[in-house]
Amino acid sequence: MAMAARRVQLADRWRGIQEAEEADDDGGGGEPSAARQRRLNQAKEEWFSHCFNFLGSLPKEEHIWCGYADIMGPFLETFLGYFDDQEENSPPRTIWKRISEELNVCAQCVCEHHQAQKDFDSEYRSGVDALLKVLRLLDEERVTEHLRQMNAKAQLKEYKPSCHDAEVSIMFEVLMYPILLDDLSLANQFQTFIERIDEIFEVSLSTNQQYPGVYALLFFKSCKARAIGLRLARSMGKLR
């Protein structure tokens, strides 16, 4: 079956599962509750398995979040037990390894990734607190490690200004989603990162976008980082 057809089939099946869950909430049409739940769980398990096979078979040049957010979004449910499952080749760990690499170089992937978490939060509210906590921890680990690697390259003078997709993506992510800065290790790495990047070429921002993380820079310990934050905030027209 062609990739496009498989995608449509997966999307249709997921909508069917969601409709079944909604019907279950309304009483399930007389079917015993335990039986309905078993049937739904089985349908989900089968869908997640087929989803993993589909995502894993995508060509490397295609980013999962960029092109298949409608499939990847629901698959995030499987990440709930990420830290409990130590099997390196488990579906969540396999997919996370790939999307981490893509998130580190693609701002569009970053947007889709964080939007999916926002959608989970708004749609399910308290029912997904545990899942969102896992995803946030994974993001903090990913971004911190990425910053650490780039800071090490800069220190060894291995940074190449002509190849800066990773730098743009990581700066975009932290400044757009400053909740990441709640992690102290990440914040320290980002402070070092933005100072070093600003030395290579003066950091500037797109004029048609607001970056809430800029204001977090104003509270960093480093005078240099605060000065960068002040300059960027003024460039957004919010400070005089």
- Tell me the pLDDT tens digit for each residue of 163-178: 567 788 999 999 999 9
Yes or no: say if 224 and 195 are a contact pair by the CB < 8 Å rule.
yes
Does any domain span residue 148?
yes
Does any domain span residue 109?
yes
State the pTM of this model.
0.90
Does any domain span residue 199?
yes
Distance CA 99, CA 92 (A): 10
Q: What is the pLDDT of residue 117?
A: 94
Q: What is the pLDDT of residue 156?
A: 78
Q: How many distinct structural domains can be found in the chain?
A: 1
Does any domain span residue 86?
no
Length in residues, the chain: 240
Question: What's the chain's average pLDDT?
Answer: 89
Does any domain span residue 167?
yes
Distance CA 170, CA 184 (A): 16
Q: What is the pLDDT of residue 12?
A: 94
Distance CA 95, CA 63 (A): 11
Q: What is the pLDDT of residue 151?
A: 93
Does any domain span residue 112?
yes
Structural domain for 218, as ranges? 102-235
Does any domain span residue 178?
yes
DSSP string, 16-51: HHHHHHHHHHTTGGG--HHHHHHHHHHHHHHHHHHH
Does any domain span residue 200?
yes
| Ranges of the chain whose pLDDT falls below 70 | 1, 24-32, 125-127, 158-164, 238-240
